[in-house]
Amino acid sequence: MSRLERMRQKMHQEKIDAYVVIRPENGRYMSGFTGGEATLYITAKKTFLLTDFRYIEQAKVQAPEFEILKTGNDHFESLAEIGQQAQRVGFEGDFITHANYEKLKNGFPEAELLSLPNLVSYLRSVKDQAEIETIRQAVKIADDAFDNVLKSIEIGQTEEEVGLDLEYSMRRAGASGGSFEFIVASGVRSALPHGTASSKKIHLGEFLTMDFGAVYQGYCSDITRTVFLGEPEDKHREVYEVVLAAQRAGIAAVAPGRTGKEVDAVARKIIEDAGYGDYFGHGLGHSVGLAIHEGPNLSMREERVLEPGMVITVEPGIYIPDWGGVRIEDIVLVTENGCEVLTQAPKEFIIFE
Ligand code: GLY
Ligand code: MN
Ligand code: MN
């Protein structure tokens, strides 16, 4: 079934006769338009893409299944003109601004408006073959960047310089950019789960956590590796091995039919049993695709069931304040029987002399 057919099936289930798409990655997924600034209006029979002068020609080429409507900057004012007949209109309540919601209400005074934020995200959660191949390439670009940075890293470099080397390597390999603001966190900063690269210099005797990813043809990758600079103490080795064991167990638990909650619990138990449960305060993973963070997640609250074709990270960590931390993150593809690990970068304890 095509994306539009699947979408219409969902709309039918939700008993809505129109749906408004504004989140850029959802617009791209449904229409093929990569320009970002478009609003889609989808009904059981028709498909409209509203955009302004700058994008008209691009939209015509990229979104052949959509009727392209030229608007001013205000797509919401134009929507009312095409949506006269609609009775129940769904929209992305998690993304619309309050001002645009007011315009939507004014434009559809007779219609019932329903916030249905997950309609397109649900379609996006199972990737097709072409999407999987693109993600494989995004993952490979990140793997190769890690390989390159291991060769170029020098004690005394700043975290920002390490981050720049990662980005340079990925851009040279065809990435359009990084998939988020990179985390390069050394020493006590490695205890910050989201310690973005700073001007701190890297020293011997420290963990160095690098969490980064590429955007390739619109699709994201996401990888974390933690290495040790110099001579580790026993506790450094122990914490690393606990995280690695949890990560491997989490990967082994990924399979269709399991909930995100069940997989999270398997990895979490290993960290808890080792006495570090209080230092693992985030979920085990999240899906990736056109966005860096998508659903379903692997987390204590995720009830959704994994399905073949989902692409998800497994990324446990232990973060001990004023000491340091370790996170290891791979991307896996859910298969018919379990999962395939897409990330190839080595994850045994790497000691950098
Ligand atoms: N750096 C974001 C993540 O790994 O989810
Ligand atoms: Mn990451
Ligand atoms: Mn991640």
Q: What is the pLDDT of residues 246-285, one digit of tens each?
A: 999 999 999 999 999 999 999 999 999 999 999 999 999 9
Decide which of 3.90.1150.10, 3.40.350.10, 3.40.50.970, 3.40.50.2300 is the CATH code for 3-124: 3.40.350.10
pTM of the model: 0.96
Q: To the nearest whole number, what is the mean pLDDT of the chain?
A: 96
- Ligand 1 in contact with 183 (CB < 6 A)? yes
Residue 298 or residue 80, greater confidence: 298
- Ligand 1 in contact with 330 (CB < 6 A)? no
Ligand 1 geometric centre to CA of 92 (Å): 24
Ligand 1: residue of 221, 288, 315 to mutate (most ligand atoms within 8 A of CB) is 315
Ligand 1 geometric centre to CA of 192 (Å): 12
Q: Where are the domains of the chain?
A: 3-124, 129-352
Ligand 2 geometric centre to CA of 329 (Å): 6
- Average pLDDT over every residue of 228-243: 98
Ligand 1 geometric centre to CA of 76 (Å): 33
The answer to which of 65-74, 152-161, 216-225 has the lowest mean pLDDT is: 65-74
State the SS3 of the chain: CCHHHHHHHHHHHCCCCEEEECCHHHHHHHHCCCCCCCEEEEECCCEEEEEEHHHHHHHHHHCCCCEEEEECCCHHHHHHHHCCCCCEEEECCCCCCHHHHHHHHHHCCCCEEEECCCHHHHHHHCCCHHHHHHHHHHHHHHHHHHHHHHHHCCCCCEHHHHHHHHHHHHHHCCCCEECCCCEEEEHHHHHCCCCECCCCECCCCEEEEEEECEEECCEECCEEEEEEECCCCHHHHHHHHHHHHHHHHHHHHCCCCCEHHHHHHHHHHHHHHCCCHHHCCCCCEEECCCCCCEEEEECCCCCCECCCCCEEEECCEEEECCCEEEECEEEEEECCCCEEECCCCCCCCCEEC
> Nearest C-alpha to atom 1 of ligand 1 is from which residue?
211
- Ligand 1 in contact with 215 (CB < 6 A)? no
Atom of ligand 1 nearest to the CA of 212: 1
The answer to which of 73-87, 107-121, 131-145, 232-246 has the lowest mean pLDDT is: 73-87
In this prediction, residue 120 has a pLDDT band, given cuts at 50, 70 and 90, of very high
Decide which of 3.40.640.10, 3.10.450.50, 3.90.230.10, 3.90.25.10 is the CATH code for 129-352: 3.90.230.10
Atom of ligand 1 nearest to the CA of 222: 4
In this prediction, residue 56 has a pLDDT band, given cuts at 50, 70 and 90, of very high
- Tell me which long-range contacts 291-295 makes (C-beta under 8 A, separation of at least 24): 291/25, 291/220, 292/179, 292/180, 292/213, 292/220, 292/222, 294/121, 294/124, 294/125, 295/118, 295/121, 295/122, 295/125
Ligand 1: residue of 183, 220, 226, 297 to mutate (most ligand atoms within 8 A of CB) is 183
- Ligand 1 in contact with 294 (CB < 6 A)? no
- Ligand 1 in contact with 192 (CB < 6 A)? no
- Average pLDDT over every residue of 197-217: 98
